[in-house]
Amino acid sequence: MQKKIGLLTALLAAQLILALGLGLGRPAVNAAQPSTPLLALGDQPVDRLEIQGPDKQTLLLQKTAGRWVLPDSAGFPADKSKVERLLGELKALKRGLAVATTAGAQQRFKVSDDDFERKLVLAQGDKTLATVYFGTSPGLRQVHARSARDSAVYTTGFGLYEAPLGADAWEDKTLLRVPADDIRRIEVAVLALSPLQPPHAAAAKKTAQGAAGPPPWSATGLDDGEVVDQAHAADLVQQVSQLTFASVLGTRADPAYGLEQPALTLELTLKDGKREQIRLGRREKQNDYVLQVSSRPEYFRLTSAAGAALIKSAQRNQLVTSAKTSVAAKTPSADAKAAATKPPAASASPPPAVSAGAVRSAPPSAAGGAS
């Protein structure tokens, strides 16, 4: 009997040793449960964000005096909404399926300390709050990720496109915009365009009349028989007020920018009395344009399409039209008046039915849908 008890005791001890060995050898993926935060940031404010790529290319974003800037681009303003959107995404990251824990697996999934697709360091001043590595992608908007505080590799919902490495992707593209209501005068093409009345008064009048739209524009520098083409003047105002650039070229002048003989020069007067000059030059080799605004030290690149559209909208033949042409466009012809007052002719028989198939097969002009 005692022999049997001893045998059972030995068997139990062996089972305990085996269970302990299995527990120690099991990957530590159970240490962190799925759907828990990948980065334990809590409410800690982040004022510095560093993004590194696989070739060690690094982009730095820093919050200074309440504004996000690009320190390596002479402190150029960054797109605040884009930075805060990324930080929100990072704080909301959840652990998905744990796929591995070994150092070899970290290399395989490209989330190791020295081999990654993206490494993001979130900091407050000189204090690092969290570091996360992003690697290979197992599916659409899915990526393998690892926190520096964790050896396990997880899948999580994130796209590498949300953390680009180029500074031009983070520049505040709205920096040059001016509210249209702030523009009191535009000097271009030997013309000086001004609103006929203050924009706020015009807006109040239009609201009372139930209509909407920009105030009409007048101009000095018109020849006899000329008037302002209001549609084209409004287009120029919109383009000037909504200026958007493609990238910042730096603060150093270059003869290749074409600004010594600019393709376009505009002078703005704003409601606060400030004057601003806008010059646009063409870079022949790059087939694009360079923009310089007197209120900023930088030179800005505009795409060929954007530059050409701005130049076209500022041409005199776009902004000015003949008074006769303007009146003719607003006055209906005698034939149009007669057609408007003539009663509709009675139809002797209903029009022939058109099958759905015929409508689908008809050319756009036949169906009245030509563009």
Specify the range with the lowest mean pLDDT, choosing from 157-166, 299-308, 327-336: 327-336
Q: At 118, is the pLDDT very low, low, confident or very high (cuts 50, 70, 90)?
A: very high
Do 54 and 148 meet the contact criterion of CB atoms below 8 Å apart? no
Distance CA 359, CA 306 (A): 38
Q: Say what the pLDDT of residue 354 is.
A: 35
Q: Say what the pLDDT of residue 16 is.
A: 47
Considering only residues 165 and 336, tell me which one the structure prediction assigns the higher pLDDT.
165
The yes-or-no verdict on residue 365 having pLDDT over 50 is: no
Distance CA 300, CA 290 (A): 5
Considering only residues 49 and 352, tell me which one the structure prediction assigns the higher pLDDT.
49
Considering only residues 64 and 3, tell me which one the structure prediction assigns the higher pLDDT.
64
Reported as a single tens digit per residue, the pLDDT across 57-104 is: 999 999 999 999 999 999 999 999 999 999 999 999 999 889 998 888
Distance CA 49, CA 163 (A): 11
Contacts of 273 (CB under 8 A, 6+ apart): none
Q: At 13, is the pLDDT very low, low, confident or very high (cuts 50, 70, 90)?
A: low
User: What does pLDDT average to over the chain?
Assistant: 82
**Whole-prediction pTM value?**
0.74
Q: Say what the pLDDT of residue 103 is.
A: 84
Do 62 and 71 meet the contact criterion of CB atoms below 8 Å apart? yes
Break the chain into its structural domains and give their ranges.
29-169, 180-321
Helices (H), the chain: 2-25, 80-92, 103-108, 199-209, 230-241, 304-313, 316-319, 323-330, 334-341, 356-361
Distance CA 229, CA 318 (A): 7
